[in-house]
Amino acid sequence: MMDVAAHLEGLLDVAAHLEGLLKDVVELDGVELVYVEYRPEGSPSVLRIYIDKPGGVGLQDCERVSKQASALLDEENLILRRYVLEVSSPGIERPLFREADYRRFVGKEIRLITTETIEDRRKFTGLIRTFSEGILRLEFDGETYQIPFSKIRKANLVHQFK
């Protein structure tokens, strides 16, 4: 039987390695590499690259990154099986993956789910007040909650319609 934890750790290692290789290629012309996701299960496997830039990314940005990433991946020969390469924007309700994301979006509204109960809840929607030393301070329902980064399962910006 497969060790699920080892399998997930292996996927994270592959994605982190790919992210390291792709960062310099992607981050030209003000484009930011938001996240790399590698899904080897299925045929073909899928490599997703999420990019962003002020004002949003366009089709030309995605095409450029796709061509450059594809050339680099072919040269490095890292993925040994058939795969589909997808390059896109993270969307208007951008996921937050790294500690730097929380610092960047201080003052913005987010929706998050924790891995365990914090003060009798696991789902929060509120404003990021601060993020430092691995602790998110989130204002929610008139109170400020301190949520360790390690306890955040999923978080997304909440789009404000105008």
pLDDT along the chain (162 residues), means of 10: 42 71 80 87 87 90 92 82 91 90 95 94 96 95 93 93 75
Dihedral (CA of 88, 15, 149, 118) sign: positive
The rounded distance, in Å, linking the Cα atoms of 142 and 79 is 48
The rounded distance, in Å, linking the Cα atoms of 134 and 130 is 10
Q: Domain range spanning residue 123?
A: 99-157
- For residue 104, being part of any structural domain is answered with yes
Question: Whole-prediction pTM value?
Answer: 0.73
Pairing of β 45-52 and β 83-88: parallel
Q: Do 40 and 9 share a domain, yes or no?
A: yes
- For residue 126, being part of any structural domain is answered with yes
- For residue 69, being part of any structural domain is answered with yes
Q: Do 81 and 17 share a domain, yes or no?
A: yes
Q: Do 75 and 16 share a domain, yes or no?
A: yes
Compute how many other C-beta atoms are within 10 angstroms of the C-beta atom of residue 138: 25
- For residue 93, being part of any structural domain is answered with no
5: left (phi over 0), alpha (psi -120 to 50) or beta: alpha
Q: Do 111 and 152 share a domain, yes or no?
A: yes
Q: Do 84 and 11 share a domain, yes or no?
A: yes
